[in-house]
């Protein structure tokens, strides 16, 4: 997989936008914080496609892991973040961007295709996030918790907001991608 300068620039810009959204929309009212980051993941897949969307989210995770305060909840960055219950969601961002991009690329450029892609991406994010959360509590922290409790804490409060984000990302992603293709081929 090779990228030209233009593609690397687009990936870097999108990663920077994702960091900006994380920094300016920090809410830490619960174990798993409300975040606008899933919207950015969906837009990365919808607009950049599978490979560049994947790379932009991988770069986002890398920037945060080297200690730059790029994440939405404390400690905001660094290797210590792997002990946070929300870390699995960040891993899910990478794979969700890829899945969303693959579906969007293969689709018929219709709103329905983008919406399905975004819903599938949210399933990927939640899969990684909830499994990591459960494993962290049960095997690392030694605080047994059922998967039903993990779902209640880590997914239930966010189902409606994530559905709304999926709808918004579908509209934005489809329209931005159409307009971008007038100027450049991603």
Mean pLDDT of 4-20: 94
SS (H, E, C) 100-117: HHHHHHHCCCCHHHHHHH
Q: How confident is the model at residue 32 (pLDDT cuts 50, 70, 90)?
A: low
List, for residues 81-97, the tens digit of each pLDDT value: 999 999 999 999 999 99
Range in 22-36, 59-73, 102-116, 126-140 with the lowest mean pLDDT: 22-36
DSSP output for 95-159: HHHHHHHHHHHHS-S-HHHHHHHHHHHHHHHHHHHHHHHHHIIIIIS-----HHHHHHHHTGGGH
pLDDT greater at residue 3 or residue 20 = 20
All structural domains of the chain: 5-175 (1.10.1760.20)
Q: How many CB atoms lie within 10 A of CB 91?
A: 19
Q: Which residue has the higher pLDDT, 2 or 135?
A: 135
pLDDT band per the 50, 70, 90 thresholds, residue 119 = very high
> pLDDT category, 73, cuts 50, 70, 90?
confident
Predicted pLDDT at 184:
47
Residue 28 scores a pLDDT above 60: no
Banded pLDDT at 26 (limits 50, 70, 90): low
pLDDT winner (highest mean) among 9-13, 59-63, 81-85, 152-156: 59-63
How far apart, in whole angstroms, are the C-alpha atoms of residue 172 and residue 14? 14
């Amino acid at each position: 997989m090779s990228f030209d300068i233009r593609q690397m620039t687009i990936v870097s810009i999108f990663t920077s936008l994702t960091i900006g959204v994380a920094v300016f929309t920090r809410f830490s009212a619960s174990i798993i914080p409300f975040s606008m980051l899933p919207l950015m993941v969906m837009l990365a897949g919808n607009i950049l496609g599978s490979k560049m969307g994947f790379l932009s989210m991988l770069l986002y995770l890398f920037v945060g892991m080297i200690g730059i305060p790029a994440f939405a909840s404390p400690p905001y960055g660094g290797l210590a973040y792997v002990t946070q219950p929300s870390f699995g969601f960040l891993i899910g961002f990478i794979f969700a961007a890829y899945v969303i991009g693959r579906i969007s690329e293969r689709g018929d450029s219709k709103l329905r295709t983008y919406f399905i892609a975004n819903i599938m991406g949210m399933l990927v994010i939640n899969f990684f996030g909830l499994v990591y959360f459960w494993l962290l509590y049960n095997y690392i922290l030694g605080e047994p918790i059922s998967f039903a409790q993990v779902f209640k804490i880590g997914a239930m409060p966010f189902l409606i907001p994530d559905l709304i984000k999926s709808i918004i990302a579908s509209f934005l992603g489809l329209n931005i991608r159409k307009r971008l293709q007038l100027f450049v081929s991603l």
